[in-house]
């Protein structure tokens, strides 16, 4: 599938994906391959896995650079001649950002600034992977113009990245856009609440320990829909530092997720559930649900609901790690 119209002009022929071996990066690289584009990927493999590159590693127009975006030489090599950059490389962990705040700022904010500066030298567009954590505990549903009051260092570093994207667009006329991702899941997810539940139930289906109270209420968007939204923002959105919520537009409590998973596995009434109480981790936002009307105006319409998405994620898990319940 060749990109057409505005998407083609903004992506160009050669695209860089930072953090290419991550969950989102690997899926995005596969999508770019389907468009016939030349793809460069950079990853230091601190979180990324070669398995995530299964959709693209045999593609003749794919080049993988093992390196860190904070390494000037590696980043300069990766950015050379690219028309657009999807900047996904980051510390993805809210708990780790609380433990190592300076390191988190370097990985997320400083790295983003370095990518933007290389993009400016090469006249490349930048698509920044931001996060719903920029809002903190916000009013629901949350529109893009809601005040930003992050409660985690991770969220603060993402705000900084967005702000620099905006200033580079304003000062230098660079094309930039930020996708504020909600909880993305799907095949190849190896972290997050769903993966955690699958793993625990596989180890012992008679019990399930749940972090927090179970009342945490969040939006979960499937990876395919998240990529659709991101590419729509590039194709039809404002590339002048604009921000777009990318989510399902619905929210579910952890208790609801537990009930759905136990029902799918036919474990209702057979699994004892233990809620640890308190916060799942420092800085964890308790309730999220995006207002996605802004990106819907571009044509975004999520196709994969929570039930179908859970079945898909579960199917991948069992293919990779064996049956959850024999």
Assess if residue 299 is contained within a domain.
no
Please tell me whether residues 115 and 225 are part of one structural domain: yes
pLDDT-derived band at 326, boundaries 50, 70, 90:
confident
125-158 tens-digit pLDDT:
999 999 999 999 999 999 999 999 999 999 999 9
Scored b (16 or more CB within 10 A) or e, 223-239 reads bbbbbbbbbbbbbbbeb
Please tell me whether residues 75 and 200 are part of one structural domain: no
Which segments of the chain are extended strands (E)?
14-18, 38-43, 62-66, 84-87, 125-131, 176-181, 183-185, 207-210, 217-218, 220-222, 240-246, 252-253, 272-275
Please tell me whether residues 227 and 211 are part of one structural domain: no
Please tell me whether residues 180 and 43 are part of one structural domain: yes
Which segments of 5-81 are extended strands (E)?
14-18, 38-43, 62-66
Q: How far apart are CA 232 and CA 77, in angstroms?
A: 28
CATH label of the domain that carries residue 11: 3.40.50.720
Residues with catalytic annotation?
154
Assess if residue 294 is contained within a domain.
no
29-50 tens-digit pLDDT:
999 999 999 999 999 999 999 9
Q: Which domain holds residue 68?
A: 5-184+221-246
Assess if residue 231 is contained within a domain.
yes
- Specify the length of the chain in residues: 326
CATH label of the domain that carries residue 197: 3.90.25.10
Please tell me whether residues 38 and 112 are part of one structural domain: yes
Say whether pLDDT at 3 is over 80.
Answer: no
Counting the structural domains of the chain, the total is: 2
Assess if residue 153 is contained within a domain.
yes
Q: How far apart are CA 274 and CA 212, in angstroms?
A: 10
pLDDT-derived band at 4, boundaries 50, 70, 90:
low
Please tell me whether residues 279 and 312 are part of one structural domain: yes
Scored b (16 or more CB within 10 A) or e, 45-62 reads eebbeeebbebbeebeeb
pLDDT-derived band at 6, boundaries 50, 70, 90:
confident
Q: Enumerate residues 6+ apart whose C-beta is below 8 A from 62.
A: 29, 33, 38, 39, 40, 41, 56
Assess if residue 105 is contained within a domain.
yes
First to last CA, the chain: 40
276-318 tens-digit pLDDT:
998 888 999 999 999 999 999 999 999 999 999 999 999 999 9
Say whether pLDDT at 2 is over 80.
Answer: no
Please tell me whether residues 156 and 26 are part of one structural domain: yes
Please tell me whether residues 214 and 155 are part of one structural domain: no
Please tell me whether residues 179 and 61 are part of one structural domain: yes
Assess if residue 119 is contained within a domain.
yes
Assess if residue 9 is contained within a domain.
yes
Please tell me whether residues 192 and 131 are part of one structural domain: no
Q: How far apart are CA 43 and CA 78, in angstroms?
A: 10
Give the residue carrying structure tokens 């905006």.
Answer: 166
Please tell me whether residues 19 and 130 are part of one structural domain: yes
Please tell me whether residues 146 and 205 are part of one structural domain: no
Assess if residue 167 is contained within a domain.
yes
289, 140 in Cβ contact below 8 A? yes
């Amino acid at each position: 599938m060749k990109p057409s119209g505005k998407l083609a002009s903004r992506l160009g022929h050669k695209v860089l994906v930072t953090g290419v071996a991550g969950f989102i990066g690997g899926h995005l690289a596969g999508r770019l391959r389907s468009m016939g584009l030349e793809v460069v990927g950079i990853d230091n493999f601190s979180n990324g896995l070669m398995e995530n590159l299964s959709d693209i590693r045999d593609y003749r127009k794919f080049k993988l650079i093992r390196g860190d975006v904070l390494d000037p030489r590696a980043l300069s090599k990766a950015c050379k001649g690219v028309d657009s950059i999807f900047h996904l490389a980051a510390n993805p962990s809210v708990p780790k950002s609380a433990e190592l705040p300076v390191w988190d700022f370097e990985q997320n904010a400083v790295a983003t600034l370095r990518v933007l500066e290389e993009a400016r030298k090469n006249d490349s567009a930048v698509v920044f992977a931001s996060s719903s954590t920029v809002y903190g505990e916000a009013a629901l549903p949350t529109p893009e113009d809601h005040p930003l009051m992050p409660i985690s260092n991770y969220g603060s570093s993402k705000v900084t990245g967005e702000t620099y994207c905006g200033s580079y667009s304003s000062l230098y006329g660079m094309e930039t856009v930020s996708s504020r991702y909600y909880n993305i899941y799907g095949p190849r997810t190896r972290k997050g609440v769903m993966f955690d539940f699958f793993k625990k139930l596989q180890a012992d289906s008679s019990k399930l320990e749940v972090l927090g109270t179970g009342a945490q209420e969040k939006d979960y968007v499937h990876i395919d829909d998240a990529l659709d939204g991101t590419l729509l923002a590039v194709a039809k959105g404002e590339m002048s530092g604009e921000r777009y919520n990318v989510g399902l537009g619905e929210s579910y409590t952890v208790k609801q997720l537990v009930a759905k998973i136990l029902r799918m596995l036919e474990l209702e009434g057979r699994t004892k559930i233990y809620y640890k109480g308190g916060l799942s981790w420092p800085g964890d936002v308790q309730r999220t649900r995006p207002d996605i009307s802004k990106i819907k105006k571009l044509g975004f319409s999520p196709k994969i609901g929570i039930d179908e998405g859970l079945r898909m994620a579960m199917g991948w898990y069992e293919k990779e790690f064996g049956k959850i319940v024999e």
